[in-house]
Structures are given as structure tokens and as C-alpha cells.
Amino acid sequence: MPIDESPRKSEPAILSDIVFPEHTNAYGTMFGGHAYAMMDKAAFLAANRFAHTLAVTASSESIDFTVPIRAGMILEVVAKVINAGRTSMVVQVVLTARDPLSTFEEQATVGYFTMVAVDETGRPIEIPKLLIEDEAEWRHAEQIRAAAKARSERRNDVARLAVESK
Ligand SMILES: CC(C)(COP(=O)(O)OP(=O)(O)OC[C@H]1O[C@@H](n2cnc3c(N)ncnc32)[C@H](O)[C@@H]1OP(=O)(O)O)[C@@H](O)C(=O)NCCC(=O)NCCS
């Protein structure tokens, strides 16, 4: 299918859930891995909503778990594409926990996922251009992108050195 050349707005994807005891540790607070899985899923939904393709998680950056989340809390995960390259998207994901019996809610986790649009065979494919609505978000995502690239280059250097030293 030909790529639509006109820049496209990104719309948030939202996931909601309740923290059940099977997703908590011995202290009754939520496992980070469960929060991460929800955030990754929301990142996929946001990427799909933007690019209308399949997408895989290439990397995640700066996932900050700032407050513990108790069993019984209601979670809301909001994910949004904030930067797009040729085939990849940086998705900002914010997880908020809400007390079901009061108006209390707090932002518990923020993270950035790089999702790559792929075809049915798993090969990267081109995505639409993103209409930039927030310059600060875009610049922040550029830093996330640079950090992922630096890590990837470091990994390649280590692999090359390992081969050369054999
Ligand atoms: C992600 C994947 C499709 C990239 O394939 P690739 O052949 O390395 O692709 P390319 O080198 O052409 O890079 C494609 C895009 O991905 C980006 N990318 C690749 N690896 C990346 C990484 N580790 N972190 C961030 N971005 C990455 C590139 O910058 C490029 O972006 P751009 O097109 O917007 O400029 C491939 O590495 C893969 O399938 N990984 C496994 C994904 C997966 O299974 N995830 C679930 C884990 S449980």
C-alpha cells in the first residue's frame, strides 16, 4: 500500500485495569513486570493507531517506577507516539494509579518505548510522517532515540571485538 505523505496526528491509546493480588509482591504492591507488560501493550496500541501496521518493541528507555501501587488500585495507561522516524516510533507511556474509593490518583510510572513498524514477515516498513504538535516532546524523544542508537552501536562494537579477539 502506498504511504500517505501528509503528516498525521498521533492519538492516545488508553488501557485500563484493576490490580489484583496475583499481580502483587509479598508487600501487596504491584510487580514492576506487570506494569511494564501493560505499558508495552499500550505502546503497541498507540503505534498501531498511528501507523496502522503491526509493530514490535525494539527498545525501552528510562522506565521510572516512582511510587508503589497497591492491590485494588485502578490503573490507567495512556500511550502516545511523540516522535516518528522512517520505520520507528517513540511512544511515551504514562501509568496512573487511582484509588477506587476516593478522588486520589497519582502518576506512578513513565517510560518510552521504541516501536518498529513491520510487515507480516517481521521486516521494518515505512510509516507516515508525524505531525509535530509539541516541540519539547519531540526533542525529548530525539534524546531517547540517540540513547538507543548509542547503546546499539556499543553492542555492535562489543560483538565486533569479541569476533576479532578469537
Ligand atoms: C526491531 C527490529 C524489527 C529492527 O530490525 P532491523 O533489521 O535492525 O532494522 P533496521 O536496522 O532497518 O532499523 C529499523 C528502525 O528501527 C530502529 N531500531 C532498530 N533497533 C533499535 C533499537 N534497539 N532501539 C531503538 N530503535 C531501533 C532503527 O533506528 C530504525 O529506525 P528508523 O527506520 O525510524 O530510522 C528487529 O531488531 C527485531 O525484530 N527485533 C525483535 C523485536 C521483538 O521481538 N520485540 C519483542 C521483544 S519480546
Instruction: Report pLDDT digits (tens) over 108-135.
Output: 999 999 999 999 999 999 999 999 888 9
Q: Which residue's CA is minimally distant from atom 3 of ligand 1? A: 124
CA nearest neighbour of 114 among 38, 155, 57, 154: 57
Whether 58 contacts 148, CB under 8 Å = yes
CA nearest neighbour of 42 among 63, 23, 21: 63
The torsion region of residue 16 among left (phi > 0), alpha (psi -120 to 50) and beta comes to: beta
% of residues, the chain, pLDDT over 90 = 72
Give residues (CB < 6 A) around ligand 1.
56-59, 85-88, 114, 116, 118, 122, 124, 148, 152
Sign of CA dihedral 56, 61, 62, 68: positive
* Nearest ligand 1 atom to alpha carbon 85: 34
Give the list of residues 6+ apart from residue 77 with CB closer than 8 angstroms, or none: 14, 15, 16, 17, 38, 39, 42, 93, 94, 95, 96
Ligand 1 mean position, distance from CA 116 (Å): 6
Ligand 1 mean position, distance from CA 121 (Å): 14
Starting at the edge strand that comes first in sequence, how are the strands of the sheet with 88-98 ordered? 13-18, 74-84, 88-98, 105-118, 54-65
Q: What is the pLDDT of residue 2?
A: 54
Q: What is the pLDDT of residue 152?
A: 84
Ligand 1 mean position, distance from CA 115 (Å): 8
Q: What is the pLDDT of residue 35?
A: 95
To test the ligand 1 pocket, which listed residue (36, 88, 138) has its Cβ within 8 A of the most ligand atoms?
Answer: 88
Ligand 1 mean position, distance from CA 24 (Å): 32
107's grid cell = 502518576
Residues of the chain with pLDDT under 70: 1-4
